[in-house]
Amino acid sequence: MGFLKWVLAFSTLCTFLATPILSDSLLNKQQLANISANFLNSAKSPDLFDWMVKIRRTIHENPELGFEEFETSKIIRNELDKMRISYKYPVAVTGVVGFIGTGKPPFVALRADMDALPIQEEVEWEHKSKIPGKMHSCGHDAHVAMLLGAAKILQEQRDDLQGTILLVFQPAEEGGGGAKKMLESGILDNVDAIFGLHISAIHPIGTVTASSGPIMASSGFFEAVIKGKGGHAAIPQHTIDPILAASNIIVSLQQLVSREADPLDSQVVTVAKFKGGGAFNVIPDSVTIGGTFRALSKEGFSQLKQRIAEVITRQAAVQRCNATVDFDTKNRPFYPVTVNNKALHEHFQNVAGQMLGIDKIIENKPTMDAEDFSFFAEAFPGYFYLLGMVDETKGVFVLGHSPFYRVNEDALPYGVALHASLVTTYLLEHQLKSATRDQSVHDEL
Ligand SMILES: [Zn+2]
Ligand SMILES: [Zn+2]
């Protein structure tokens, strides 16, 4: 009998005999502590750790960009095959969804992203990227390894699970909207809740960072071509200068946040691209500008989008230019605001608090970066948190998307144990709630 069965038998008894210690949980502190301690022990076992590290390093050496994660996906499927975990493939080109448990509701999901970035690795180490110009510099290799680690320890408890755990390995988080494609496949239609994590180069190892409500911004990109009439730089009266028009457009765009947005609704508009002209004495025919816009509310985001298009086209007209604006949503879908579900936040605090200590849960301030986990969290209750990995004795850890990015592999067991504990206790709680409901119905008869 697995340890879950013992916990469950004990818990069911407690539900009817005692008041749970945690008001929003049917499992009491001791039971939660037992489950998380058991999973953390399993996750820290040298065999599991070494196996995970090996997988992570193999993936790190062979990074693949969004929707091209064929080899990464193959590694995942090979490991799932060895564990005798059934799965669906392909989902959204390279995605894999594994299943552990009864195959029946409730369905609770864990998510890992698989893609790398178009960056040349500058870290000199034994397992440096073998693919020129591509690198896992956001830690998604570690995310895959942790979800496989969780799969392994959850599979050992499969007979005691009352419900189904979905292992969601998704492609193309870095701008491609892989999560959106996974949802469109329909395979996640019945999911009741989903948890995801991102390894963090800011927070200490053994800590997690989380909060309820909006945690990351809605995000979109735009590109505009401003057309004028090129000519001699010394005879401007015979030209229509798109450089001047583009410059005025950029200044006007900066006023959207400062003058039109509610100061309490955080927004960003950044023009990060400006291409026009190639000579000192030639006014070009056209200029291309591009950038990103962000907001922490749906309303703020849609207003920004509308006003960016208006400002670009109308400000161009002031300087006699024509402008077209492309949001390129086909290749870069708008990401929604990432919103953490309140009930799942309480669940997370109970579980992580018992495993790591309540003082190891750091309150998260919303940021203006974006995560395509937001698509999942928009479709059903979702919860996303950061897993600290910083250990100053192991050198400096830089933020993701840097050629000098490193992962502290010592953090992997924490991610594994949190993954496993969050979904297992979610299913147990659900089971206990059903049992309580049945009991109360019975009492009334
Ligand atoms: Zn990233
Ligand atoms: Zn990332």
Q: Which residue has the tokens 């210690």?
A: 21
Burial class (CB in 10 A: 0-12, 13-18, 19+), 377: buried
Question: Any idea what the Cα angle at residue 272 is, between residues 267 and 278, rounded to 5°?
Answer: 155
| Ligand 1 midpoint to CA 400 (Å) | 6
| Ligand 1 midpoint to CA 389 (Å) | 16
401 is in an annotated binding site: yes
What is the DSSP secondary structure assignment for residue 84, as one 8-state letter? T
| Ligand 1 midpoint to CA 406 (Å) | 13
Q: Which ligand is nearest to the CA of 174?
A: 1
Residues 48, 51, 400, 421, CA torsion sign: negative
Please give the distance of CA 193 from its chain centroid, rounded to a whole number.
Answer: 15
| Ligand 2 midpoint to CA 345 (Å) | 21
Rounded Cα distance, 289 and 59, in Å:
36
Task: Please say whether the beta carbons of 25 and 429 come within 8 A.
Answer: yes
Beta bridge partners of 197: 385
Residue 17 pLDDT: 39
CA distances for 383 relative to 77, 291, 343, 362, angstroms: 25, 29, 9, 15
Main-chain dihedrals φ then ψ at residue 90, nearest 5 degrees: -85, 145
The residue ranges of the chain whose pLDDT is under 50 are: 1, 13-23, 445
442 is in an annotated binding site: no
174 is in an annotated binding site: yes
Residue 30 pLDDT: 83
Residue 433 pLDDT: 82
Residue 7 pLDDT: 66
| Ligand 2 midpoint to CA 140 (Å) | 6
Rg of the Cα trace of the chain? 25
Q: 3-state DSSP call for residue 395?
A: coil
| Ligand 1 midpoint to CA 256 (Å) | 27
Q: 3-state DSSP call for residue 244?
A: helix
Structure tokens of 356? 């790591």
Residue 15 pLDDT: 44
| Ligand 2 midpoint to CA 116 (Å) | 9
| Ligand 1 midpoint to CA 137 (Å) | 7
pLDDT in tens, 296-306: 999 999 999 99
| Ligand 1 midpoint to CA 411 (Å) | 18
| Ligand 1 midpoint to CA 136 (Å) | 9
CA distances for 371 relative to 218, 219, 383, angstroms: 9, 9, 12
| Ligand 1 midpoint to CA 178 (Å) | 13
Looking at this protein, which amino acid is placed at residue 357? G
| Ligand 1 midpoint to CA 396 (Å) | 19
Strands 208-210 vs 382-390: parallel, antiparallel or unpaired:
antiparallel
Beta bridge partners of 273: 290
| Ligand 1 midpoint to CA 138 (Å) | 5
Strands 213-216 vs 193-204: parallel, antiparallel or unpaired:
unpaired
Task: Please say whether the beta carbons of 411 and 389 come within 8 A.
Answer: yes
Q: Which ligand is nearest to the CA of 373?
A: 2
Q: Which ligand is nearest to the CA of 170?
A: 2
Rounded Cα distance, 435 and 127, in Å:
50
| Ligand 1 midpoint to CA 71 (Å) | 20
| Ligand 2 midpoint to CA 29 (Å) | 33
Determine if residue 149 is left, alpha or beta; phi over 0 gives left, psi from -120 to 50 gives alpha, anything else beta. Answer: alpha
pTM of this structure = 0.90
Cβ neighbours of residue 55 under 8 Å, at least 6 residues apart?
75, 79, 144, 145, 148
